Amino acid sequence: MLETADYLEHLSSGMSALTVDPYRNIAYYAFPPLSTFLSTYYPLQLNSADEAVMSNRVTRNILEEIQELIRHAGISRRVITYKSAGNQFLSFGGSLSLMAPVLFVPDQHLYRKNGIALFSEENREAPLRSDWIFTDNETRFLICRELGKIKTNTALIRIAIKITIIAFLFIIYKSSLGLPLSATLFLGAIGLYILSEKFFQGRADQMGVEILSKKVTNAKDVAISALKKMLRQNLARRSTHRLAKFYITKSGNNILDFIHPFVTTRIDTLSQM
């Protein structure tokens, strides 16, 4: 179920990126905490209510870990960390936000199931081997990807591109260019938008490595390890789910992921850094 939910969440994010109006994106950038309304996001904080799930000692360690990564990213303002019941790392806001940026970390990366060490407490002598569980450093890389987006304010650029694309599509709709030409321009505009999204996500990988390298010496190897794990997860989906063979290639790439470059492309790009 987790594997299927992960895929559906990626597909939903891709469709949302293509269709949701930019007004919500602007609101989420200016006022990042708005993104937590009507969601499964909860602040990662020290309180008695969460003690039964994860002790305050562990929560404090995790918050200190994330705060250290925030400093390595060169982000001087406060970033609010939320835990999420979803499967994706997300972030909203940046240096120009009117309210503090927010970072969302999936629950499964913080307190792992089946007695496996919690985040920040991995046993260095017995590293995690499961393809479905990311190591501490791999989780740090995924966090650093989002911190890089906050640092560089890429959300603003992406919003501007989306507005430009929507305006262009409106012009096509109102013009009398004929159906074939209009359809071609329409598909071309959507294609350019998808390419821009993939570019920024690919850049986030590189930013993640740059930030993580300030904490660990083998940051690039950690990032590639995390991406190879995603590749193996896709191959596992392909082998166990009948429909997955239609959208996951034999090399492990998900062709329905409209936001990210192919995982193999991401691995090759980082390998050449």
Dump pLDDT digits (tens) for 89-101.
999 999 999 999 9
Query: Does 266 fall in a domain?
Result: yes
Give the DSSP letter of residue 261: P
For residue 115, give the amino acid letter.
Answer: G
Total residues belonging to the chain: 273
Separation between Cα atoms, residue 4 and residue 200, nearest integer Å: 25
Question: Residue 146 domain-assigned?
Answer: yes
The reported pLDDT for the residue numbered 1 is 42
- The owner of tokens 């650029």 is 157
Q: Is the pLDDT of residue 223 over 90?
A: yes
Give the per-residue pLDDT at 97: 95
Boundaries of domain holding 223? 2-116+131-271
Kind and range of the H or E element at 81?
Answer: strand 80-84
In this predicted model, which residue has the larger pLDDT, 119 or 199? 199
- Distant-in-sequence, close-in-space partners of 265: CB < 8 Å, separation ≥ 6: 202
Whole-number pLDDT of residue 115: 59
Among the listed residues 266, 26, 3, 6, the one whose alpha carbon sits nearest the alpha carbon of residue 166 = 26
Position 124 pLDDT exceeds 70: no
- Token pair belonging to 142: 């995924």
List pLDDT tens digits, range 251-268.
999 988 888 999 999 999
107 in a domain, yes or no? Answer: yes
Count structural domains, the chain: 1
d(CA 35, CA 15): 17
Confidence of residue 2 (pLDDT cuts 50, 70, 90): very low
Amino acid at 34: L
Mean pLDDT of the chain: 84
The structure tokens listed for 3 are 């594997």
Please tell me what DSSP assigns to residue 80: E
Q: How many percent of the chain have pLDDT more than 90? A: 44
- Asked if 260 and 267 count as a contact pair (C-beta separation under 8 A), the reply is no
Q: What's the token pair of residue 45?
A: 């904080």
pLDDT tens digit sequence for 11-64: 555 555 555 567 888 899 999 999 888 677 888 877 765 655 667 788 888 999
The two tokens of residue 73 are 């990213």
Q: Is residue 219 predicted with pLDDT exceeding 90?
A: yes
More confident residue, 193 or 105: 105
Residue 26's H or E segment, with its range, is: helix 22-30
* pLDDT one-digit tens code per residue, 160-172: 888 888 787 777 7
Most confident of 40-49, 127-136, 154-163, 180-189: 154-163
Residue 126 inside a domain? The answer is no
Q: What is the pLDDT of residue 94?
A: 93
Per the domain annotation, does 123 fall within a domain?
Answer: no
The H-or-E segment that residue 104 falls in is strand 102-106
- Asked whether residue 175 carries a pLDDT value surpassing 90, the answer given is no
Comparing 214 with 116, which gets the higher pLDDT? 214
Question: Torsions phi, psi of 115, nearest 5?
Answer: 75, 10
